Amino acid sequence: MKKRILTGDTPTGKLHLGHFVGTLQNRVKLQDEYETYIILADLHALTTLSKDPYKISQYTLEVAIDNLAVGLNPDKSHIFVESLVPEIYELAAIFSMYVTYGRVMRNPTIKDEITMKELGNTYSLGFINYPIYQAADILCVKANLVPVGKDQVAHLEQTREIARDINRVTNSEIFPIPEVLVGQHGKLPGLDGKAKMSKSLGNAIFLSDSSEEVKKKVMRMYTDPTRIRATDPGHIEGNAVFTYHDVFNPNKDEVADMKQAYEHGKISDVAVKEKLYQVLETFLSPIRERRIKLEKDKGKIREIIIEGSKKAREESQKTLLEVKEKIGLSIV
């Protein structure tokens, strides 16, 4: 029997290059080796879109298309919508009884989000319960491996704690302790040089961006603010353009030559960016073409989601029943 992967996305907008580096690349690579479940966590999207919830269903479809466009095969990967699997919420309710408020608030990702978004005390109960719902997303199908972006590692540690607690309380091995798989390149910086590419910060190149949009974004990317002229020595460290070259440019000798020339003032920012645009176009063109074809048959995309959700619900029902029986909640 194959081991299982659970990973996925919160549908608050289309996916970008940061998502590809963070998890999409690993999803595609591992779908032959593992039974793969991809969750479209629409309930989680309410933490961002609570005042504009009607966008979530459209974004859910868009994110499914992005996953398929990068190479996920629906015959090998079950793509499902969280809200179509209500057993997840019952599992989350059970899990919440084993997690203290203090433990949730020590989660560094939660603390960072509160600070970055300047939420103060305005965040919802659902926002701080996010890691518990995420644990239910993962454990409902008894995932063995979870490909995530670097910023999600803290959430996964909480999932592992919950799995251990339930196993200990029931004196059983209901849940595997899921392993975490972070993308090869960690996280991709934003076009503005900030630590993370993000939809909400407006510093992202989307997988669905047109060639013209990609070029426009690349040409305004953050480079070396201390460099005034092309003949000035430039800095590589912290230069987002070279970070993208390191990730996406397969010609490592060319990248090394450009870095050397840049440090000695022998190549302009424009020339380095032009080359990056060509590299990204080579990478994005086939994804863009597949996406255009997929968008023409959204009925088929919905069928894929419905079938994936049925499969995920079957597994979640079995998991929930086992937890309730072993924890003593079932009296019939």
As a whole number, mean pLDDT of residues 74-100 equals: 96
**Would the pLDDT of 6 be above 90?**
yes
Instruction: Show the DSSP H helices in the chain as ranges.
Output: 17-19, 25-30, 42-49, 56-69, 87-96, 101-105, 108-116, 125-128, 130-139, 153-170, 211-219, 240-248, 252-263, 269-295, 298-327
CA atoms within 13 A on the CB side of 33: 8
pTM above 0.75, yes or no: yes
C-beta neighbour count of 205 within 10 angstroms = 22
Complete domains list, the chain, with CATH? 4-189+298-327 (3.40.50.620), 211-291 (1.10.240.10)
Digit-coded pLDDT (tens) for 91-147: 999 999 999 888 888 877 777 777 777 777 777 788 888 889 999 999 999 999 999
Confidence of residue 271 (pLDDT cuts 50, 70, 90): very high
Digit-coded pLDDT (tens) for 157-171: 899 999 999 999 999
Q: Which of 21-30, 158-167, 187-196, 320-329 has the lowest mean pLDDT?
A: 187-196
Q: What is the pLDDT of residue 159?
A: 94
Q: Which of 309, 2, 24 is closest to 185 using CA atoms?
A: 24
CA dist 22 and 147 (Å) reads: 8
> Could you tell me how many residues make up the chain?
332
Write the DSSP assignment of 262-326 as a string of letters.
HHTT-S-HHHHHHHHHHHHHHHHHHHHHHHHHHHTTHHHHHHHHHHHHHHHHHHHHHHHHHHHHH
Residue type (1 letter), 45: A
Q: Are 248 and 279 in contact (CB under 8 A)?
A: yes
Confidence of residue 50 (pLDDT cuts 50, 70, 90): confident
Digit-coded pLDDT (tens) for 230-249: 899 999 998 999 999 999 99
As a whole number, mean pLDDT of residues 11-26 equals: 93
235: left (phi over 0), alpha (psi -120 to 50) or beta: beta
CA dist 320 and 323 (Å) reads: 5
**Would the pLDDT of 17 be above 70?**
yes
Q: What is the pLDDT of residue 49?
A: 87
As a whole number, mean pLDDT of residues 310-324 equals: 97
Q: What is the pLDDT of residue 331?
A: 62
Q: Are 134 and 45 in contact (CB under 8 A)?
A: no
